Structure 1
Amino acid sequence: MITDTIYEHLRDIQTAKVEPLISKATTIDPSDTVSSVINKIIKDNAYDVFYFDGKSTLSTNIRALLNAKNITQMNIDPFLYPIPHISPNDSVQKAADILTHYRIREVPIVQKNQIIGVVTAKRILEILSTKDNRWIKANLIYTQNPITISSEELLGNAKKIMTSKRLDHLPVVSQGKIKQVLTSAHILEYILPQERQGKKSFKGKTTHKLEFKIGNIGSTRIPQCTPNDDLNKIVDSMLKTDTTCCLVNLWENLQGIITYRDVLELLVSKLEAAIPLYVVGLPEDQTNINLISKKFENTLKKVQKVYSEIHEARVSIKQQRTGDKKEGKYEVTIIVTTSHHAPLIFSSVGFDLSEVLDELGQKLLRSLSKHTNRYDNKRSRKSIRKMRHPIF
């Protein structure tokens, strides 16, 4: 399978230590005001900021701060949330797991109870660009049918989409064509200048910035590619233009988008199983995590007996936390790709990770049993003129 081949091709990068990739971190204090943190982000050209409280690492980022109000008086503390950190001896793969799972661009590195730096998604892409990846095509990695927005829409609507859908890139449509890409950083920087100049700048202003139309706000220097362009060309164009996405077009029609996250997912952890199984977000504090993983592998084996044409399965586990409590519900999503229909996506939430995975395994088994029956009925017909094969 092509995913297995890619995984083996990138193994040297996956297993490499992150120490040579360390760069400066943007650190803050919970007592800092939101405005001062935003100023640090803009000054350092950063996306994520971090604070280490002696036990765990807290973080926030540009997208989260789009919801901030009263930025000159409000402290940053309510916007901080726990995030895993790594050590200099950890692997690039572990960094990629955290980057993709938490939808961030920088992973904090902690040593001797101090944040000594970060590993950025961009730095990992620079390492990827040194390999011969010309046989890996855009249609293997891009996100299909990305959400777009009209240039006539308000900035406030763009902000709502980004925060609710956890997106940082919105292609902007004007007169039927993509003219630019609006990012979370654009919105943050656009609504800030007057607030940073002081209270006097608000006098005489009757319309809030978020009530303005998008218009031509955004970047027009976004690289573009076709579904058949190779990974080297895509990554090189993103690095050269210092952008975090690439648009995928076919005959001037937008087919998809490639972001840092799409590329880094090529490096995420894979468990050895009969079906290629990629798991992100396994909690390290679970004493029976190996048993839970093995249990889900066995579920996949049962599924394969019912439906043999599964390409791969991806599991994303996120623990919901409230305040300072370590305990919380597990939010689990399973994505299964097969030969004959679009990816199957199942999600569930619960306090017991093992029970949640059991529930999702049963949903998967029932769903694929139905698909198998439908497929068998189609095969019994005298002629099948067309079959739909989605691009993964």
Structure 2
Amino acid sequence: MLADTIYDHFKEIYNYPIKSLIQPGITIESSDTVSKVINKMSENDAYDVFCMENDSILSTNVRELLLGKDILDMNIRPFLSVIPSLSINDTVQKAANILTHYRVRSVPVVSKQEIIGVVPAEKILELISKKDNKWINASVVFTSNPITIDSNESLSAARKIMTSKRIDHLPVLHKGVIKQVLTSSHLVKAIIPPEKLSRGSIGMKRIRNLQSEIGNIGSTRIPQCSPKHDLNHVIQLMQKSGTTCCLVNLWEEIHGIITVRDIVSLLAVKMESEIPLYIVGLPEDLKNEELIHSKFVKALKRIQKVYSEIQEARVTIKQTRKNGQRKFYEVSIRIITPHNTFRQEGTGWDLGNVIEEQSQKLLRNLSKRAKRRNKISIRKLDAPITQV
């Protein structure tokens, strides 16, 4: 299988220690304003920022900030979410897992409850480029038929596409031809004015920019390749131009797109992480309490395989008496992710069966959602890479 071959090919990189890859990261305070954070990102050309709150590492990035409206004077806290961290003794494979599954470009490294730096995706890209990857073609890595936008469309329309499809690169068409690529970083800089502007001019400038056309905003220095070009060639093009994506053309038409995350995802394996689970209202006199708990834990792991961004799961159980003394259960399941909360409710006489049925329905619903999202926005191989 291709996945097994790729795993063997990059095995040396999987076990490479991250210690030599650590670079300074951009840290913020959870009390900072959004505009202050954006200015800090712009000054340091950063995509991700991090902060420590109690024992957790919180993070946000450029694309997440596009989700907000009227955010200039807002506190950054609502845009922060928990992210796993690395220790100084971890390997590249763990870093690649986090980069891929959490859709970030750098992973924080923590020592003694302090963020001492980050491992950026670009450093892992350098390791990959040192291998002989000429047998891995661009067609293996790219996302086909990428979403595009016309230059006459508004910046607001571009923001809606990026946030709904969770992408950071949007090729822009001028009379049917790709002339530039609009990124989430371009968009943030265009619609969020510098903090030094007066309050009155801030509002005026933001409204004007959101309603204005994309025009020539974006980068014209985007490398291009064909589906038959090898991975080393693609990485060299991206490194030379200092960009985070490469367009794949076929017969002078855009055929696909390759991002840094696409390439790093070659090193990723499916994550097995513990998800906080809270069960409220579990009957005290229930004889098979452990069985009910373990049943939902197993269901949760199955759900995580198709929807890896689960942060927390809650099950609320209510019981009433029907037909005399017979117990009737109402079960509500809530799955929390960084961007959405999914709910599933059901009733029945047997608590174990109700939880099993509702877990299966939730699994099917999230599977459909994950498939739709993967087709459009997630850059990955056709075959999932599994650890040998």
Query: Normalising to structure 1: TM-score of the pair?
Result: 0.73
| 1:256–1:357 Cα change, 3 Å | farther
| Aligned match of 1:142 | 142
TM-fit CA distance, 1:45: 1.0
Where does 1:67-106 land on structure 2 (aligned, <5 Å)?
A: 67-106=67-106
TM-fit CA distance, 1:350: 6.8
| 1:141–1:184 Cα change, 3 Å | same
Preserved contact between residue 52 and residue 58 of structure 2 (Cα < 8 Å): yes
- The residue identity in structure 2 corresponding to 1:173 is L
- Structure 1 distance, partners of 2:144, 2:260, is 15
Preserved contact between residue 35 and residue 196 of structure 1 (Cα < 8 Å): no
Preserved contact between residue 317 and residue 330 of structure 1 (Cα < 8 Å): no
| 1:181–1:84 Cα change, 3 Å | same
SS across alignment from 2:100: helix
SS across alignment from 1:254: strand
TM-fit CA distance, 1:316: 4.5
- Deviation per residue, 1:186-213 (Å, 9 max, x gap): 0111123365422353587695211000
- Deviation per residue, 1:91-143 (Å, 9 max, x gap): 11111111111111011111100011111111110111111111110111111
- The residue identity in structure 2 corresponding to 1:20 is S
> Are 1:282 and 2:273 matched, yes or no?
yes
- Structure 2 distance, partners of 1:51, 1:391, is 35
| 1:178–1:350 Cα change, 3 Å | same
- Structure 1 distance, partners of 2:255, 2:13, is 29
Preserved contact between residue 35 and residue 194 of structure 2 (Cα < 8 Å): no
- Structure 2 distance, partners of 1:350, 1:260, is 36
SS across alignment from 2:308: strand
| 1:50–1:6 Cα change, 3 Å | same
| Aligned match of 2:214 | 214
| 1:356–1:12 Cα change, 3 Å | farther
- Structure 2 distance, partners of 1:78, 1:129, is 38
| Aligned match of 1:38 | 38
- The residue identity in structure 2 corresponding to 1:65 is L
| Aligned match of 1:372 | none
- Structure 2 distance, partners of 1:142, 1:193, is 34
Preserved contact between residue 320 and residue 328 of structure 1 (Cα < 8 Å): no
- Deviation per residue, 1:218-240 (Å, 9 max, x gap): 00101011100000010111111
- Structure 2 distance, partners of 1:156, 1:145, is 22
Query: Normalising to structure 2: TM-score of the pair?
Result: 0.74
Where does 1:19-58 land on structure 2 (aligned, <5 Å)?
A: 19-58=19-58
- The residue identity in structure 1 corresponding to 2:217 is I
TM-fit CA distance, 1:68: 3.4
SS across alignment from 1:103: coil
SS across alignment from 1:266: helix
SS across alignment from 1:108: strand
| 1:50–1:288 Cα change, 3 Å | farther
Preserved contact between residue 319 and residue 328 of structure 1 (Cα < 8 Å): no
- The residue identity in structure 2 corresponding to 1:317 is S
RMSD (Å) for aligned C-alpha atoms? 3.3
| Aligned match of 2:64 | 64
Where does 1:370-385 land on structure 2 (aligned, <5 Å)?
A: none
| Aligned match of 2:350 | none
- The residue identity in structure 2 corresponding to 1:241 is S
| Aligned match of 2:249 | 249
TM-fit CA distance, 1:176: 1.0
> Are 1:168 and 2:168 matched, yes or no?
yes
| Aligned match of 2:190 | 190
Preserved contact between residue 280 and residue 316 of structure 1 (Cα < 8 Å): no
- The residue identity in structure 2 corresponding to 1:144 is S
- The residue identity in structure 2 corresponding to 1:174 is H
Unaligned runs of 5+ in 1: 270-278, 297-313, 332-347, 365-389
| 1:198–1:227 Cα change, 3 Å | same
- Structure 1 distance, partners of 2:266, 2:294, is 27
- The residue identity in structure 2 corresponding to 1:76 is I
- Deviation per residue, 1:133-184 (Å, 9 max, x gap): 1111011111111111011100000001111111100001111111110000
SS across alignment from 1:93: helix
| 1:315–1:391 Cα change, 3 Å | closer
| Aligned match of 1:302 | none
- Structure 2 distance, partners of 1:266, 1:19, is 21
SS across alignment from 1:134: coil
| 1:104–1:206 Cα change, 3 Å | closer
SS across alignment from 1:181: strand
Preserved contact between residue 16 and residue 91 of structure 1 (Cα < 8 Å): yes
Unaligned runs of 5+ in 2: 278-292, 314-332, 346-354, 368-380, 384-388
Where does 1:314-329 land on structure 2 (aligned, <5 Å)?
A: 315-321=306-312, 329=335
SS across alignment from 1:248: strand
| Aligned match of 2:18 | 18
